[in-house]
Chains A and B, each alone.
Chain A
Amino acid sequence: MSDKILQIENLTVSFDGFKAIKNLNFSLDPGELRVVIGPNGAGKTTFLDTITGKTQPTIGRVIFKDRDLRGLKEHQIARMGIGRKFQTPRVYLNLTPREGLELSCNRRKNIIGAVFGKPTTAERRTVSGLLDTIGLTNKADIQAALLSHGEKQRLEIGMLVAQSPDLLLVDEPVAGLTDEETEKVGDLLMALAESHSIIVIEHDMEFVRQIARQVTVLHEGTVLCEGTMDEVQTDPHVIEVYLGHQDEAEAA
């Protein structure tokens, strides 16, 4: 037994011989908000894929709440309490935000529950509370296709929360957002961090500074270093592979 909510031991994932992740070790405390950064191709998305069951580990184990996730399907892992937000907003475009949230909120996700189930009063209340939190009460009953990019991002985060997961995996939540929207999403994540464990993958360093307490830097499929934002920023390896490039880019 361990007190970690998520533990990754000696993980290697290879695709036809190409190792996207090499000997990665990682652990997360319950209630922790962790930001994972790393240059393109560092294996960040594969890392999330492996946790959520989209990709199976070649070597090593992923342990969530003391249970090995090997061999479990995506929906089984999701039911255990892992929610995932994709890089681009992935919401059901032909449903309204309320309907989308209700689908996520539903506790009975088998056939019987879907065919005969109706949203309970408690679920309805959760959904309208969530709509309020993500600021979409006014647009609760229009098609999600009509929402703006930022609203879709918030809706997807809302759908994650509706699942009431213990661990949230959030992949680049602020890509393509305006500064104002970025801040809103940041506040939302900070609020969620009070009751969930969260892993955020991000490129935007401003945003990382806003939310990060602990940062993990991935590089070529392994953990390069771990620490607070200040520690990470002063680490010579990190400056070399990641921040260094960005400084050059900013100078140019």
Chain B
Amino acid sequence: MDITATKPRFDWQKRRFLLIEGAIVLVFVLLLIFVIPQFLVSIGQAFRVNLLGRYLALAIVALGIDIIWGYTGILSLGHGLFFALGGYALAMYLQLQPNGQLPDFFSLYGVTELPAFWQPFSSLPFTIFAAVAIPTIVAAVLGYLVFRNRIRGVYFAILTQAALIVFFNLFNGQQKLINGTNGLKTDTATIFGQPAGSAAVQWSFYVLTVVLLAGAYALCRWLTSGRLGRLLIAIRDDEPRVRFTGYNPTAFKVLVFAASAGLAGVAGALYTVQSGIITPKVMDIAFSIEMVIWVAVGGRASLVGAILGTLVVNFAKSFLSEKFPEVWLFFQGALFLIVVMVLPGGLIGWLRTHGLDYSRTLLRGKQRVTTYPSLEEDPDVEYERQDLTNRKSDG
């Protein structure tokens, strides 16, 4: 095979697919901004716009989970920690608005002076930076220490839970520093002279969430395609092999873990301003496990799956808990069992393997015959097939 002849076609094809993908993402962004909210308002479900915004924020953390778990095969059950760090960063900024006064809750505990670590959060640029950088750095340090010692699999998952509990207790117990279990309210704060809970501000946060979700998708798409993406899959498939090939897996694992934590930070900040409060409850172990369930339901190692899974599970949760408040947890458990046992590839995995065939059957009423791939690829078989069709057309 002459590789020089195939190369340009390959690149051209790839570029075309990328353009199509970009166009699809753009269409979804426009739909989410200009069509769906107006539709929801027109049917009198305006509050669902806010829900949608929150779930789209959660989809960003799901993307993060997908690149670390779906692609690299490292199960983190502690992403609530990074989510909380991002959320608290922005909440602290809002508490200090409009002019860096002492937040009200401090007076309850007799604190008269702003703790030192609050000071930099009166600046918006610093806060935005911190909401991403703090979780990223925490994850990079934690990841480096753990991955360097080749701690993997279940042991890593347990360690992330331990880290989560440590931070939960820290935030929960420190009333004089961070208002402890009551958390920080953001909806009564003002931002750019407007109350953060007002419709206009909430709408801008909604639009920002949609745009950042598209950005997060692009980032993950870039990370998981090309050489790095293949390397991540290789690490998932056989890490020692990667090592003996001359790559240092620790570096790549730290990179992906940190990136996924950064995404969780962004998600936490966006979720917090749209829910109006952040409490240490987001560092509940169950919430971090839920995040993994969203990805599992949507489909591991599929970025669209992570977003889809988050939206499906969360909307199912909100509908079901409105109608039958007591069954939601059972339903969530059942959902996870079904996914693990019947749909190991999640919704997207099912679509990829069976969905195409089903839709083909529906459209044409004809099912594609599957054979062994080796048979499909075999040049001899190919020749015979060609020969048969020629004979048919001749006769």
Does B374 sit at the interface, judged by CB under 8 A? yes
Distance to closest chain B CB from A98 (angstroms): 10
CB of B227 within 8 A of CB of A109, answer no
Cα distance, A91 to B244, chains bound together (Å): 12
CB of B237 within 8 A of CB of A138, answer no
Taking CB atoms, residues of chain A closer than 8 Å to B249 are 75
What number of B residues sit within 8 Å (CB to CB) of A? Answer: 33
Does B234 sit at the interface, judged by CB under 8 A? yes
Does A227 sit at the interface, judged by CB under 8 A? no
Cα distance, A74 to B249, chains bound together (Å): 11
Taking CB atoms, residues of chain B closer than 8 Å to A75 are 243-249
Does B338 sit at the interface, judged by CB under 8 A? no
Does B373 sit at the interface, judged by CB under 8 A? yes
Does A20 sit at the interface, judged by CB under 8 A? no
- Count, A-B residue pairs, CB within 8 A: 101
CB of B373 within 8 A of CB of A146, answer yes
CB of A86 within 8 A of CB of B233, answer no
Does B230 sit at the interface, judged by CB under 8 A? yes
Give chain A interface residues in 137-181, CB to chain B under 8 Å. Answer: 137-139, 142, 146, 148, 159, 163
Distance to closest chain A CB from B229 (angstroms): 10
Partner of B247, one of A52, A54, A93, A109: A109
Taking CB atoms, residues of chain A closer than 8 Å to B106 are none
Taking CB atoms, residues of chain B closer than 8 Å to A118 are 226-227
CB of B251 within 8 A of CB of A111, answer yes
User: If A92-B233, A93-B237, A146-B374 touch, does A114 touch B228 (CB 8 Å cutoff)?
Assistant: yes
User: Which residue on chain A has the smallest CB distance to residue B377?
Assistant: A138
| Binding-face segment, B1-9, B272-280, B341-349 | B1-9
Taking CB atoms, residues of chain B closer than 8 Å to A78 are 243-246
Distance to closest chain A CB from B388 (angstroms): 20
Cα distance, A79 to B240, chains bound together (Å): 14
Does B214 sit at the interface, judged by CB under 8 A? no
Give chain A interface residues in 34-81, CB to chain B under 8 Å. Answer: 52, 54, 73-75, 78-79
CB of B231 within 8 A of CB of A128, answer no
CB of B231 within 8 A of CB of A103, answer yes
Does B236 sit at the interface, judged by CB under 8 A? yes
CB of A138 within 8 A of CB of B245, answer no
CB of B236 within 8 A of CB of A114, answer no
CB of A138 within 8 A of CB of B379, answer yes
Does B48 sit at the interface, judged by CB under 8 A? no
Taking CB atoms, residues of chain B closer than 8 Å to A163 are 245-246
Taking CB atoms, residues of chain A closer than 8 Å to B102 are none
Cα distance, A26 to B3, chains bound together (Å): 43
Does B159 sit at the interface, judged by CB under 8 A? no
Contact with B along A88-109 (1 / 0, CB 8 A): 0011111100011011101001
Cα distance, A159 to B234, chains bound together (Å): 13
Give chain A interface residues in 119-144, CB to chain B under 8 Å. Answer: 119, 121, 124-125, 128, 132, 137-139, 142
Distance to closest chain A CB from B305 (angstroms): 16
Cα distance, A125 to B70, chains bound together (Å): 31
Cα distance, A104 to B252, chains bound together (Å): 16
Taking CB atoms, residues of chain A closer than 8 Å to B242 are 103
Distance to closest chain B CB from A106 (angstroms): 7
Does A196 sit at the interface, judged by CB under 8 A? no
Contact with A along B197-238 (1 / 0, CB 8 A): 000000000000000000000000001001110110110111
Cα distance, A99 to B379, chains bound together (Å): 22
CB of B3 within 8 A of CB of A117, answer no
CB of B241 within 8 A of CB of A91, answer yes
Taking CB atoms, residues of chain B closer than 8 Å to A132 are 1
Cα distance, A233 to B151, chains bound together (Å): 45
User: If A111-B252, A121-B4 touch, does A74 touch B230 (CB 8 Å cutoff)?
Assistant: no
User: Which residue on chain A has the smallest CB distance to residue B222?
Assistant: A115
User: If A94-B236, A128-B1, A142-B377 touch, does A74 touch B231 (CB 8 Å cutoff)?
Assistant: no
CB of B3 within 8 A of CB of A128, answer yes
**Among B7, B243, B251: residue with most chain A CB under 10 A:** B243
CB of B228 within 8 A of CB of A115, answer yes
Give chain B interface residues in 248-264, CB to chain A under 8 Å. Answer: 248-249, 251-252, 255
Cα distance, A8 to B252, chains bound together (Å): 33
Partner of B230, one of A83, A99, A110: A99
Q: 23 A-B residue contacts at CB 8 Å? A: A75-B246, A78-B246, A90-B240, A92-B230, A92-B238, A92-B241, A94-B237, A103-B231, A103-B234, A103-B242, A103-B247, A109-B245, A109-B246, A109-B248, A114-B228, A114-B247, A118-B227, A128-B1, A128-B3, A137-B1, A138-B379, A142-B373, A146-B374
Other than the given A94-B236, A132-B1, 12 more pairs (CB < 8 A) read A79-B246, A86-B241, A95-B230, A95-B233, A103-B247, A111-B251, A111-B255, A114-B227, A115-B255, A138-B377, A142-B373, A163-B246
Measured CB to CB, the residues of B under 8 A from A are 1, 3-4, 7, 223, 226-228, 230-231, 233-234, 236-238, 240-249, 251-252, 255, 373-374, 377-379
